[in-house]
Chain A
Amino acid sequence: MAPSKAVPTLEAADGYIAVPVRFSEEKAPHHCFYATQEHLDDTRPRNRTLFVINIPGYITEDALSEAFSSYGSVESVEILDKPGCRVGKPAKRSTHFNQKMSKGFKVAYIVFKKEFGIEKFSSALVISKEDNFIKAGIEKWISDYEASFIDVAALQAEIDKYMDKYDGKEKKKEVKAKEKEGVADKEGWITVTRKGRRPGTVRTEAMNSRLIEKERKKRAQKELINFYTWQQRTKTKEHLDELRKKFEEDKQKIALMRAQRKFRPY
């Protein structure tokens, strides 16, 4: 491969080996992929799969498949943002929402047709810099721009479908809630819902703190102050502490003001 100086395969930590990558025969090694056959899950054939990390975002699956084919014919290449198990079908994701593509470095699973051993790597990997292998620059941005045009009808259909489903779910919830209304469970508790004859309020944090506050006030009203001697004693003590604290704070404030004083007469 590299005629002048063979780049030795490097052992890296944690069961990974380093695979230097170069963009053409002449150029010096560029990036370094790290490949391993450990840490794999069962969704892919263990002995035929190679897990590669540190892949720059602009490298396409075709390019990887081409590059690795010199070590044996490649069955499939998957580039992912994060290591993950293979899903049966490509995930049924919304075509119009959640399209956040992560940029940066990716990981790849390469499945070979035949059994593959990691020790095979002996020299740098060569990725030819031909146009169809790298997705970057002006052409990528133009194609991204073109891809941002959407089919309005398809979007509408997707929304309709989602909203139908959502409405169905909500309705089901409502029906369920209605069924439960006023019916005690095994231990005799009754679930209060927002609908029904005596609707309850939603339990939110704000509501909760408001209730606690109300309770506290009620208790404070009932409490007798200045009744026992110790109450008065603690009160004076608290008052004194307060004053002392304020005094300290003011002293600090004055010190700060003095420090930042801008008065520089000539």
Chain B
Amino acid sequence: MCDFPGMKDAISILKVWLRQRQLDKGSGSFSGFVGSMLISHLLSKNKINKVMTAENVFRNTLLFLANTDWTVKGITMSRSPDPSLPSLADFHQAFEVVFVDPLGVVNLCADMTAATYRRIQFEAKESLKILSNTNTSSFLQLLMVPKPFQKTFDHVCHITELPALLKTCKKLKLCDELMDRGGDYVLTSLRYIMSVLQKGLEPRVVLLSHALPQKPEWDINQDPANHSDADSLLLGLMLTIDFFTSPLQKGPAADSPEAVGFRSFWGEKSELRRFKDASICEAVVWPVNNIEEKRRIPELIIRHLLQLHADIPDSAITCTGNLLDCVLNRGKKSGTGEESIASVIQSYDDLSRKLWTLADMPLAITSVQGTHPALRCTDVFPPVPVTPSFYFFKRCESSDEFLVPLAHKPTPAYVSPVRVICHLEGSGKWPSDKRAIRKLKAAFHIRLAELLKEQHGLMCRVTPGHVDVYKDGYVFRVQVAYHREAAFIREVIAEDGMRMSMDSEKAFQLELETIHLPYLTSTLHGLHQRFPALGVTSRIAKRWISAHLLADSISDECVDLLVAHLFLQPEPFTAPSSPQLGFFRFLSLLVSHDWKNSPIIVNFNEDLKDADITEIQNRFTSTRNQLPVIFIATPKDRDMSVWTMGKPSAQILHRLIILASESLVTLEKQLMSPSEISDIKIIFRPPMDVYDVLIHLNPRHIPRHREAVDQPTISFIRGIVDDNSPKKDPRFPVVDYDPVQLYLCELRACYGEFALFFYDTHGGEVIGVLWNPSSFTPQPFNKDAVNGRVVDTKSETMLLVPSVEAMLADFEILGKGLVSRIQCQSEKWKI
């Protein structure tokens, strides 16, 4: 030991590694002692030698852990040839995990369950992967990031009412073992429960494990805590990425000998089924209708198997894997809307095929790309097909086809246009003047509408900027784009006749819409195919941000990218398979990431090589001050971070971090102690007392009222026919008409310099207003900057100050019909 410093350090490192993974404490743990014994075993077997550094010793230990299986072939440190000692096989009969001490009589891992051992093995494998990856800081991820149980496993299950386990022991005839363990029925039954579940969940989980039951410390004057005092047993499931939602599990053929075992294992759930390949097999089918329910299958299996084999009643099991799905339910419809996304995408695919094959277009279409969030599966509430009911609307005067809302009826349901960008081929005929290009684009819109109507009978509405196409109940907003337009907008001719390129906001916006957004949409859609939990995670994250009235302060795309980052770079964890875990990690990313000093690099398709990443990092450090507060680099956008340029501001990010840390604490508490799950939506309810003024809105004119976190029990009928059967004489529905957004837009235009306005886009009933303190300093009179200020009568020098009364009155006038009342919460503005 003295002449081998590497070993000493390696033991410490191993202990830290175990501690961060919560594996070193509790009964059946891989304690530091076992770790030290393992390393000395390796030394005696010459797997490591005395010249190795600590890092090498540690790596070799992990390698050994990853490659040997102590549940099948245990290891022994004993060298004595004494035949009276028990053999390894004897140990294997008595214990699940075998590691025999030098005397050859004690199993050091006697208490350890196979599930715990598998978890250690899994961790070792993952850690080796991180160690061999050169461009991440492995030290940080392996040894400094704690991996708590609830952040590692996709699905966490609690077994409460532990005394029920006593019955389990009786049922499984474990009385002898119970005696061996001094009556600790929790530990006795644990390994049997785990083996049953492992068998049942086999194809659906990567890893099934349990938290180590902890013995609490006790005072010297008191009796030690009993095993029956523990309040719950924690099971964790790490799910496979896609199979876990499969409703059908195929068993052995009906006439094979294994069928009996299968049938007795699954009980009455097992049934005979005939498959497409004409085989007749035993199978287990779970009754599910939509994807939300499919995600619940592991929970159903656990409940069923524990009830059947271990007599644990339903009431004793609490699964906290899918609690957050409820915030994505809209109205009375059940499900989290994955089906609607699929049908939007289907309809979009059909439209794009039609656009491609459109005959008689003057210029060929070179690409059709969608940019709507639903097309990248991350729209919080995806569009649903609508059929307007005629009596609810007025006909448009100019054309009978179109409908217009009526002032005395409630605002019609919001129809979100699905944006589609259509690039046209370049040609010498395109003009080289920005105004002419715009005119020509409008002409193309007209032509497109005519052709779609002629060839496919689709109803279209033309405006100079886009064509709205009403198809399958969805409204698609098709926009023609020409790839050189941005360059022409930027072009300025200098005095000496040279053509120069000048940065312009307009050109940047255009590039965002026609180049960056389509790319992002298709990439994320591809990524969603790889990680099905990505879309829902992003939707829950957006819902949370919106619920805290910050949706307008941070761009949707920024959230999408942050979530994609969680899936592409989950180290030291693995990519989440359940949306809830994804959201949990999203919150902790917000809280723990060092936004100021490190960039977020989202490496789509591994397009960025190591050298590129280093270059991005270097450029980031050298130009940090000019970059936005959140910096996200992608392969197509290496040094601009286009999606976070304007927003969020530093203050908003700060607020977001505070909210996230509070939500994280609450959520963690709720997930870890099932008795406290009173109301999971609590983290989706914003504190309203920080705002200076609250503008209460009339629900009658909130078109997305039903999307609210706490769904209104009654809301208004909004002019939608329920059955979606095609009508003989369809009318074009009201599109993209949301009075609240229009109101906010006007408020921001008129009073943006005095106040900030916050609103929950999804059915919020209140607009929060925060005065901007810097705008309240008196200013000298200037005829161009009066903007609602009044001359302060008290001052001698005729300074202008904002008039709060006038502003409050204006809030009411601007939102005539929409605003129900205005509530002042603070007197801060009184100077």
Residues of A within 8 A of B (CB): 10, 12-14, 16, 18, 23, 28, 30-32, 34, 39, 53-54, 56-58, 83, 96-97, 102-105, 134, 136-139, 141-142, 144-146, 148-152, 155-156, 158-159, 162-163, 166, 170, 202-206, 208, 253, 256, 260, 262-265
Cβ A56 vs Cβ B734 within 8 A: no
Given the known interface contacts A96-B442, A166-B431, the answer about A136 and B404 at a Cβ–Cβ threshold of 8 Å is no
CA distance A149 to B394 in the complex (A): 14
B701 proximity list for chain A (CB < 8 A): 138
From A103, A136, A145, A158, contact of B734 by CB (8 A): A145
Please state if B499 and A134 are interface contacts (CB–CB under 8 Å): no
Are B813 and A136 in touch, CB under 8 angstroms? Answer: yes
Known: A141-B742, A162-B436. A146 touches B404 (CB 8 A): yes
Q: Which of A58, A139, A150, A263 contacts B814 (CB 8 A)?
A: A58
| 25 chain-A/chain-B pairs, Cβ below 8 angstroms | A13-B791, A14-B781, A31-B806, A34-B783, A34-B786, A39-B783, A54-B788, A58-B814, A103-B749, A104-B750, A137-B818, A138-B817, A138-B818, A139-B407, A141-B743, A142-B407, A144-B742, A145-B404, A146-B397, A159-B446, A166-B433, A202-B499, A205-B498, A253-B621, A263-B144
A103 to B397, CA, bound (A): 26
Residue of A nearest to B442 (CB): A159
> How many Å lie between the Cα of A208 and that of B498 in the bound state?
9
| Complex-state Cα separation, A83 to B786, whole angstroms | 13
B464 near A136 with CB under 8 A, answer no
Q: Are B464 and A97 in contact (CB under 8 A)?
A: yes
B300-346 with Cβ < 8 A to chain A: none
Contacts of A141 on B, CB cut-off 8 Å? 737, 739, 742-743
Q: Mark B387-416, 1 if CB is under 8 A from A, else 0.
A: 000000000111100101111000100000
The answer on a CB contact under 8 Å between A57 and B750 is: yes
A residues in contact with B814, CB < 8 Å: 58, 136-137
Determine the distance from Cα of A28 to Cα of B446 in the docked complex, in whole angstroms: 52
**Distance of A202 Cα from B500 Cα, bound (Å):** 11
> Which 7 pairs, one residue from A and one from B, show the smallest C-beta to C-beta distance?
A137-B816, A103-B749, A138-B817, A13-B781, A204-B499, A137-B817, A13-B798
B461 at the interface (CB under 8 A from A): yes
Instruction: Specify which chain B residues have a CB less than 8 angstroms from the CB of A138 in the assembled complex.
Output: 407, 411, 701, 739, 816-818
Q: Which single residue of chain A is at the shortest CB-CB distance from B598? A: A260
Using known A-B contacts A53-B783, A136-B814, determine if residue A265 contacts B404 with beta carbons closer than 8 Å.
no
On chain B, the residues within 8 Å of A170 by CB distance are: 431
Write the chain A residue with the least CB distance to B402: A149
Question: Do B463 and A32 touch (CB < 8 A)?
Answer: no
User: In B420-438, which residues have CB < 8 Å from any A CB?
Assistant: 431, 433, 435-436, 438
For B402, what are the chain A residues with a Cβ–Cβ distance below 8 Å?
Answer: 149
Q: Mark B740-782, 1 if CB is under 8 A from A, else 0.
A: 0011011001100000000000000000000000000000110
In the bound complex, do residue B787 and residue A205 qualify as a contact, i.e. CB atoms below 8 Å apart? Answer: no
Q: Are B597 and A256 in contact (CB under 8 A)?
A: yes
A266 CA to B188 CA in the complex, in Å? 33
Q: How many A-B residue pairs have CB under 8 A?
A: 167
Q: How far is the CB of B736 from chain A (nearest CB, A)?
A: 9
Q: Give the distance in Å from the alpha carbon of A96 to the alpha carbon of B466 in the complex.
A: 12
CB distance from A68 to the nearest CB of B (A): 19
B399: A residues at CB distance < 8 A:
149
Min distance, Cβ A25 to any Cβ of chain B, angstroms: 16
Q: Which residue from A146, A163, A264 sits with its C-beta under 8 Å from B439?
A: A163
Whether A265 lies near B16 (C-beta < 8 A) is: yes
20 further A-B pairs in the complex, CB-CB below 8 A; given A97-B435, A102-B749, A105-B786: A13-B780, A13-B798, A18-B790, A30-B805, A30-B806, A96-B442, A139-B816, A141-B743, A142-B404, A142-B407, A146-B397, A148-B463, A150-B464, A159-B442, A166-B433, A203-B498, A204-B499, A206-B501, A263-B144, A265-B16
Q: Cα distance A226–B823 when bound, in Å? A: 80
Q: Is the CB of B817 within 8 A of A139?
A: yes
A110 and B798 alpha carbons, distance in the complex (Å): 25
Complexed CA–CA distance, A249 and B97 (Å): 54
CA distance A58 to B798 in the complex (A): 27
Instruction: Determine if B783 and A137 form an interchain contact, defined as CB atoms under 8 angstroms apart.
Output: no
Chain B positions 780-831 with a Cβ under 8 Å from a chain A Cβ: 780-781, 783, 786-791, 793, 798, 803, 805-806, 809-810, 813-818
A12 touches B816 (CB 8 A): no
A168 CA to B433 CA, complexed, in Å: 14
Is B452 positioned at the interface, with any CB of A under 8 Å from its CB? no
Number of interface residues of B (CB under 8 A): 68
- Tell me the bound Cα distance from A200 to B37 in angstroms: 81
Instruction: Give Cα A151–Cα B435 distance, bound, in whole angstroms.
Output: 20
Give Cα A199–Cα B743 distance, bound, in whole angstroms.
55
Q: Using Cβ atoms and an 8 Å threshold, which residues of chain B touch A134?
A: 813, 816
Task: Select from chain A the residue with minimum beta-carbon distance to B498.
Answer: A203
A170 CA to B432 CA, complexed, in Å: 10
In the complex, the answer to whether A152 meets B462 with C-beta atoms within 8 Å is yes
Residues of B within 8 A of A31 (CB): 788, 790, 803, 806, 810
Query: Could you tell me the distance between the alpha carbons of A116 and B654 in the complex, rounded to whole angstroms?
Result: 56
Given contacts A138-B816, A151-B398, contact A32 B803 (CB under 8 A): yes
Closest to B745 in A: A103
Cβ distance B503 to chain A, nearest Cβ, rounded Å? 12
What is the CA–CA distance of A23 and B497 in the complex, to the nearest angstrom? 56
Question: B749: which of A104, A152, A159 is its contact (CB, 8 Å)?
Answer: A104
Given the known A-B contacts A103-B746, A141-B739, are A205 and B500 also in contact in the complex, defined by CB atoms under 8 Å?
A: yes
Collect the chain B residues with CB atoms within 8 Å of residue A264's CB.
144
When C-beta atoms are compared, the residue in chain B nearest to A20 turns out to be B790
Name B597's contact: one of A83, A151, A159, A260 (CB within 8 Å): A260
Could you tell me the distance between the alpha carbons of A130 and B208 in the complex, rounded to whole angstroms? 71
In the complex, B594 has a CB within 8 A of chain A: yes
Q: Which residues of A contact B809 (CB under 8 A)?
A: 23, 30
A262 touches B817 (CB 8 A): no
CB distance from A256 to the nearest CB of B (A): 7
Q: When chains A and B are docked, how far (Å) is the Cα of A13 from the Cα of B178? A: 94
Whole-angstrom CA separation of A53 from B788 in the bound complex: 10
**Is the beta-carbon distance between B793 and A16 smaller than 8 angstroms?**
no
* B499 close to A203 (CB less than 8 A): yes
Q: Which residue of A lies closest to B786 (CB)?
A: A54
The answer to whether A149 touches B749, judged by C-beta atoms less than 8 angstroms apart, is: no
Interfacial chain B residues near A136, Cβ < 8 Å: 813-816
Q: Which residue on B lies nearest to A156, using beta carbons?
A: B446
A204 contact set on B, CB distance < 8 A = 498-501
Shortest beta-carbon distance from B781 to chain A in Å? 4
Tell me the nearest residue of chain B to A263, going by C-beta. B144
Q: Give the CA-CA distance A203 to B494 in the complex, in Å.
A: 10
Please tell me if B443 contacts chain A, counting CB pairs below 8 Å.
yes
User: Which chain A residues border B621 with CB–CB below 8 Å?
Assistant: 253, 256
- Bound: A141/B815 CA distance, A: 10
Q: Which of B499-530 contact A (CB under 8 A)?
A: 499-501
Say yes or no: A53 contacts B786, CB within 8 Å: yes
Q: Which residues of A contact B813 (CB under 8 A)?
A: 56, 58, 134, 136-137
B16, B439, B498: the one within 8 Å of A159 (CB):
B439
User: Cβ of A58: which chain B residues have Cβ within 8 Å of it?
Assistant: 810, 813-814
B783, A14: Cβ atoms under 8 Å?
A: yes
Q: Is B140 an interface residue (CB 8 A)?
A: yes
Are A145 and B798 touching (Cβ within 8 A)?
A: no
Q: B741 to nearest A CB, angstroms?
A: 10
